[in-house]
């Protein structure tokens, strides 16, 4: 089976559109978040200004929690704080998915898909699939002495991993990647995002039908054969999960791996330490996730009147957990605005918490570990290019570097 149309049929560059999606060029939201965390730990307003949103979309006011304890309570308390609001936002594109489900529906669907993304299940893919993809991408520039690691590596890598995990044919990768970028970049171009959603759903319909007839060793086969107490996933549930997998999996990994590489490159002493002692890499991954989570905001809806830090959230009120603020809470971390790979790791909220904790977190960590190890092994003398175009981490909803231009000894 092949994709229904060819990539690159016009001059539209989906990466450039995606790179500018929601969040603008805000470099450092953390001073403002620290002020709110101290003065108004539960606040009503809009963290997203009109200048940060695509044209035609207005900011909306909601409650926001800024402290770690309040945010973790919201994420843990699924009965008090519902996730169903996602059905009327991204659910319009992705369908009724586990992100927008409450229990018992959520528990059943999560159990049906979770086995495909458990840490032990993913380990089988590292040597045979994930590592080779990373090295294929690095092969393109390893002999050149310079590269731009976002566009040439971290952005493409997780989409290619997902394509191979799903068992898609190699000839479909280019089109699959284009649709995936357009879906993820819905906020940048709504019409293209909706069209990509429909194209991906139609494409997946053929693949799912094929796997029902002839299961293989891939994630889609795992999904179509999964069964608990006689319950199986419907085709529509599988399509919705696969559409969610793209932004939840590809985007999280692209941003988190780019953030870690940028932080290491801007802290040469810690880059040297991790290069010399790869046992520090897992700590470095967690520290980068804490300091610069790829997604800063997660939304919930109160199901009853509930008090947080002395403020009553009314039943039906929308409440946003500010993960970026919670991960910088000085009540939990000493010098929370400092990148320190030697810090003793504690639970952070970069992958949320509670029943909706990110299913793809093990895959994201694995991919980041593979990317960083490969970069350090294959690009000796790695350093930021001093003539690069002002690389920096930016964004208010999603955060990652604009680019990571590097030099190395070819």
Domain boundaries defined on the chain: 14-407
Q: Distance between alpha carbon 7 and the CA centroid of its chain, in Å?
A: 24
Instruction: Give the model's pLDDT for residue 233.
Output: 82
| Backbone phi and psi for residue 171, each to the nearest 5 degrees, phi listed first | -70, -15
Neighbour tally for 56: CB within 10 Å: 6
Vertex 242: Cα angle to 238 and 244 (nearest 5)? 115
H or E element that contains 195: helix 190-213
- Amino acid 383: pLDDT: 97
Which pair of tokens denotes residue 97? 């998915």
**Which are the contacts of 31, defined by CB distance < 8 A and separation ≥ 6?**
none
> For 173, phi and psi rounded to 5 degrees?
-60, -45
For residue 178, give both structure tokens: 């284009």
C-alpha radius of gyration, the chain, whole number: 21
Q: pLDDT tens-digit profile of 338-384? A: 999 999 889 999 999 988 888 788 889 999 999 999 999 999 999 99
Beta bridge partners of 297: 322
CA pair distance 365, 373, nearest whole angstrom: 12
Check residue 2 and give its pLDDT.
43
Contact (Cβ atoms closer than 8 angstroms) between residue 211 and residue 205 = no
Q: Which helix (H) or strand (E) holds 62?
A: strand 62-65
pLDDT of residue 3: 46
pLDDT of residue 7: 41
Which pairing describes strands 81-82 and 297-302: parallel, antiparallel, or unpaired?
antiparallel
Given the candidates 3.40.50.720, 1.10.630.10, 1.10.340.30, 3.40.50.12780, the CATH classification of the domain at 14-407 is: 1.10.630.10
Left, alpha or beta for 138 (phi > 0: left; psi -120 to 50: alpha)? Answer: alpha
Per-residue pLDDT of the chain (410 residues; tens, 9 = 90+): 444 434 444 566 656 655 555 556 789 999 999 999 999 999 998 887 656 555 555 567 789 999 999 999 999 998 999 988 776 666 666 667 677 677 777 677 777 777 767 777 777 788 888 999 999 999 999 999 999 999 999 988 988 898 888 888 888 888 887 887 777 766 667 788 788 888 988 999 999 999 999 999 888 998 888 887 788 888 888 888 888 777 667 778 889 999 999 999 999 999 999 999 999 999 999 999 999 999 899 999 999 999 999 999 999 999 999 999 999 999 999 999 999 999 988 999 999 998 888 878 888 999 999 999 999 999 999 999 999 888 999 988 889 998 999 999 98
Say which residues have a Cβ less than 8 Å from residue 258's Cβ, sequence separation at least 6. 149, 150, 154, 155, 400, 401, 404
CB 183 within 8 A of CB 11: no
Q: Name the pairing type of β-strands 400-401 and 318-322.
A: unpaired
The pLDDT value given to residue 4:
41
Choose among 408, 404, 409, 369: nearest CA to 152. Answer: 404
CA distances from 251 to 38, 79, 87, 181, 398 (A): 31, 28, 20, 9, 9
Residue 273: phi and psi, rounded to 5, are -65, -45
Tell whether omega for the bond before 104 is within 30 degrees of 0, i.e. cis. Answer: yes
pLDDT at 8 (0 to 100): 43
Sign of the dihedral through C-alpha 337, 342, 402, 68:
negative
**Alpha-carbon gap, residue 130 to 5, rounded angstroms:** 27
């Amino acid at each position: 089976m092949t994709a229904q149309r060819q990539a690159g049929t016009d001059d539209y560059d989906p990466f450039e559109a995606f790179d500018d999606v929601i969040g603008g060029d805000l470099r450092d939201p953390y001073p403002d978040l620290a002020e709110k965390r101290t003065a108004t730990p539960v606040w009503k307003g809009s963290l997203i200004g009109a200048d940060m949103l695509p044209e035609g979309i207005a900011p909306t006011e909601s409650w926001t929690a800024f402290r770690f304890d309040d945010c973790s309570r919201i994420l843990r308390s699924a009965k008090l704080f519902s996730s169903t609001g996602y059905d009327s936002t991204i659910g319009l594109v992705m369908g009724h998915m586990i992100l927008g489900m409450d229990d018992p529906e959520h528990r059943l669907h999560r159990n049906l898909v979770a086995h495909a993304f458990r840490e032990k299940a993913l380990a089988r893919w590292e040597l045979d699939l994930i590592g080779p993809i990373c090295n294929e991408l690095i092969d393109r520039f390893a002999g050149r002495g310079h590269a731009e690691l976002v566009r040439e590596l971290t952005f493409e890598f997780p989409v290619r991993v997902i394509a191979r995990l799903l068992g898609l044919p190699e000839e479909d990768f280019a089109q699959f990647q284009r649709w995936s970028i357009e879906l993820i970049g819905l906020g940048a171009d709504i019409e293209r995002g909706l069209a990509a959603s429909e194209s991906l759903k139609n494409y997946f319909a053929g693949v799912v039908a094929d796997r029902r007839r002839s299961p293989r060793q891939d994630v889609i086969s795992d999904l179509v054969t999964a069964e608990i107490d006689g319950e199986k996933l419907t085709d529509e549930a599988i399509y919705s999960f696969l559409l969610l997998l793209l932004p939840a999996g590809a985007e999280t990994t692209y941003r988190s791996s780019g953030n870690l590489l940028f932080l290491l490159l801007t802290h040469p002493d810690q880059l040297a330490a991790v290069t010399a002692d790869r046992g520090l890499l897992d700590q470095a991954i967690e520290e980068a996730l804490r300091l610069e989570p790829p997604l800063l905001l997660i939304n919930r809806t109160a199901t009853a009147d509930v008090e947080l830090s002395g403020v009553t959230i009314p039943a039906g009120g929308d409440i946003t957990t500010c993960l970026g603020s919670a991960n910088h809470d000085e009540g939990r971390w000493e010098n929370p605005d400092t990148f320190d790979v030697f810090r003793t790791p504690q639970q952070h909220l970069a992958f949320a918490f509670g029943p909706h904790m990110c299913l793809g977190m093990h895959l994201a960590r694995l991919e980041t570990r593979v990317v960083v190890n490969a970069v350090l092994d294959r690009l000796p003398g790695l350093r930021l290019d001093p003539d690069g175009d002002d690389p920096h981490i930016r964004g208010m909803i999603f955060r990652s570097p604009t680019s990571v231009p590097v030099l190395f000894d070819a």
